[in-house]
Amino acid sequence: MNYKQKDYYISTKENEYYKVLNVVDYMLEEAKSNNKYPIWGEKLRTELKENTGNNLTPWHFNTIISVLLDYVPDEVKNKPNAKSL
C-alpha cells in the first residue's frame, strides 16, 4: 500500500517558516542584483506568504530544497563518501 502525504506545511515552531521565507527573499534579492529574475522564486515567495506555510505542494518543497542546496558548501556537496538512498 502506497503512502500518500495529505498535508504539506512548514511549522512556525522555532521560526522555521520565517527562516525559509528569509532565505527565499535573500535568494531573490541576490538574483535581482545580478540582473536575473527567477519567476519561480517570485511564485514561491508569493505562495508562501499567501498560505503562511500551509497547504503547500510537493513543488514548494522541492523548490525550497533546491534553494537551500545552493547555500551548501561545495566540499560538502561533493564529498566522495556520500551514501545513496
Mean pLDDT per 10-residue section of the chain, whose length is 85 residues: 66 88 92 87 92 89 90 83 67
> Within its chain, how far is the Cα of 29 from the centroid?
15
pTM: 0.75
| pLDDT of res. 18 | 93
Is 60 among the domain residues?
yes
Is 8 among the domain residues?
no
| pLDDT of res. 72 | 86
Angle, CA 46 vertex, CA 43 and CA 51 arms, to 5°: 120
Q: Rg of the chain's alpha carbons, rounded to an integer?
A: 15
Is 80 among the domain residues?
no
Is 29 among the domain residues?
yes
| pLDDT of res. 11 | 83
Q: How many domains does the chain have?
A: 1
Is 5 among the domain residues?
no
Give the residue numbers spanning the domain of 62: 13-75
